[in-house]
């Protein structure tokens, strides 16, 4: 069975009119709510790479951290290096197959060269099969922090008991005939459900408070000279993105119906100053299909483990759309962030220049890119194109668009 790592969003069409390890057993207690973690999961851990910095979660090597002046909504506008031993309780996390090794190493080199060589954060790798020695040895040699390797429980990578597998099969056959991307894939659906409701419950993730999701074959185009995790904490952010777009309508026809049911069942979880304006053009009656592209995320794990998110995921999971349709983790995470968080708890990392096929986020502004040693082509920036939802995010938050954005519009 293939393990897909791509984002749940599919390649867009024209704009819509109105998306050497040590093995052992670790017991795991599920959070409150209906989500049930398995009692036992196989966990593989590999020690830090030779020569890597070793530090407990609360402290670390001397690094450059930002001293912001004139901080704007896009991040620190001026960064001054200072010596600091403070380090966040954070990790990178990657879902990958053994066969992805030569694609994930490209991502690791990008992340290490542009960011992590200065900060030495840990990296968690998850797979529905055991990682082989080649994968562990090669990745450990490239990462400056400690590496951890875990196997996903069958309970988190299979059809739940309430799913009618015959009905789900007929849906896949229909989607295959209609040529909906990944429409006939079982493993893609397992991936989307796992990323939506379980990755943050894995025993290897329980020790961390913050995560940065990294997928194979991504690129980072600019230097990142400050601790992004610390920036999130210091500025009260819980979720972040670099790219946003519309989801395929055919993959989520009843997702918003389930969301509306959740909102009626749990009005106490809906944030007062939320981002409904980003998600809906009619105050929540319908979904406009905008979402943050979740192959890049920096976020707070405690929020994902909260009672609010647990209740939200359980409602969606019970309704079966991960299998009866093809709900992706990108709209699932985005809708949760848009409704359960205050809008000022969501951050757009303009300065993290990023590529995941087929889209590029290249910071707008010539001097901005020069200061950060960027090598992206600004003409390829997706932010201000017609299929991007980033303009909506700016308008909702009354943020001024960066100078030069009109030159990058369609």
Looking at 297, 380, 395, 400, which residue is catalytic?
Answer: 297
Query: 288 to each of 328, 335, 358, 366, how far by Cα in Å?
Result: 15, 11, 22, 33
The candidate with the shortest Cα–Cα distance to 92, out of 73, 105, 111, 79, is 111
∠ CA 12-258-392, rounded to 5°:
45
DSSP helix/strand/coil, 204: helix
Q: Around 35, how many Cα atoms within 13 Å sit in the side-chain half-sphere? A: 30
Residue 297 designated active-site: yes
CA distance 372 to 366: 10
Give residues with Cβ within 8 angstroms of 1, minimum separation 6.
Answer: 128, 186, 187
DSSP helix/strand/coil, 285: coil
Residue 91 phi, psi (nearest 5): -150, 155
CA distance 310 to 33: 6
Q: What is the dihedral of CA 319, 321, 323, 324, to 10 degrees?
A: 90
Query: Among all residues, which ones are annotated catalytic?
Result: 297
């Amino acid at each position: 069975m293939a393990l897909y790592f791509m984002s749940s969003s599919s390649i867009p069409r024209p704009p819509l009119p109105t998306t050497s390890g040590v093995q052992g057993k670790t017991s795991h207690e599920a959070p409150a709510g209906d989500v049930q973690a398995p009692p036992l999961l196989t966990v593989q851990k590999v020690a830090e790479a030779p020569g890597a910095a070793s530090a407990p979660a609360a402290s670390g090597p001397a690094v450059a951290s930002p001293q912001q002046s004139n901080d704007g909504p896009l991040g620190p506008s001026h960064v001054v290096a200072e010596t600091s031993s403070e380090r966040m309780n954070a990790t990178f996390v990657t879902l990958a197959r053994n066969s992805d090794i030569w694609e994930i190493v490209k991502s690791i080199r990008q992340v290490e060269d542009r960011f992590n060589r200065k900060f030495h954060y840990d990296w968690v790798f998850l797979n529905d099969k055991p990682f082989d020695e080649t994968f562990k040895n090669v990745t450990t040699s490239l990462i400056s922090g400690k590496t951890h390797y875990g196997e996903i429980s069958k309970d988190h990578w299979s059809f739940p008991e309430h799913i009618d597998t015959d009905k789900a099969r007929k849906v896949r056959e229909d989607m295959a005939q209609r040529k909906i991307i990944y429409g006939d894939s079982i493993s893609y659906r397992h991936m989307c459900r796992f990323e939506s409701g379980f990755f943050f419950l894995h025993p290897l993730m329980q020790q961390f408070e913050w995560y940065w999701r990294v997928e194979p074959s991504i690129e980072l185009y600019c230097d990142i000279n400050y601790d992004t995790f610390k920036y999130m904490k210091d500025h009260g952010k819980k979720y972040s993105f670099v790219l946003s777009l519309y989801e395929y309508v055919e993959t989520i026809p009843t997702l918003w119906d389930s969301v509306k049911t959740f909102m009626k069942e749990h009005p106490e979880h809906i944030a007062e100053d939320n981002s409904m304006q980003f998600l809906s053009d009619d105050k929540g009656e319908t979904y406009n299909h905008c979402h943050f592209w979740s192959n890049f995320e920096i976020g707070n794990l405690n929020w994902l483990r909260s009672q609010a998110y647990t209740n939200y995921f359980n409602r969606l999971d019970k309704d079966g759309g991960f299998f009866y349709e093809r709900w992706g983790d990108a709209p699932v995470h985005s809708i949760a962030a848009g409704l359960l968080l205050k809008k000022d708890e969501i951050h757009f990392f303009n300065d993290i220049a990023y590529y995941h096929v087929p889209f590029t986020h290249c910071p707008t502004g010539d001097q901005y890119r020069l200061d950060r040693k960027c090598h992206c082509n600004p003409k390829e920036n997706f932010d201000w194109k017609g299929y991007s939802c980033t303009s909506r995010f700016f308008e909702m938050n009354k943020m001024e668009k960066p100078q030069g954005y009109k030159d990058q519009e369609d």
